[in-house]
Amino acid sequence: MTNHPRSSQGGFFTGDESTAKAFGKPSKPLLITGATESFEQQHRARVRKYTILMSFRIPALILAAIAYSVTGTGWVPLLIVALSIPLPWVAVLIANDRPPRRKGEPDRYDARRRAIKEEQRAIEQQKHETIDG
Question: Using one digit for the tens of pLDDT, what is the confidence trace for 32-85?
Answer: 666 667 788 888 988 998 999 899 888 999 999 999 999 888 899 999 999 899
Distance between CA 85 and CA 61 in Å, rounded? 10
* Boundaries of every domain in the chain: 39-97
What's the predicted TM-score (pTM) here? Answer: 0.47
Task: Using alpha carbons, list the distances in angstroms from residue 130 to 27, 38, 81, 123.
Answer: 71, 59, 72, 15
The residues near 50 (Cβ < 8 Å, ≥ 6 apart) are 91, 92, 94, 95
How many CB atoms are closer than 10 A to CB 67? 19
C-alpha 36 chain-centroid distance: 11
Tell me which of 63 and 30 has the higher pLDDT: 63
Distance between CA 81 and CA 74 in Å, rounded? 10
CA-nearest of 61, 106, 68, 109 to 83 is 61
Distance between CA 118 and CA 124 in Å, rounded? 10
How many CB atoms are closer than 10 A to CB 80? 19
Considering 9-13, 117-121, 127-131, the range whose residues carry the highest mean pLDDT is 117-121
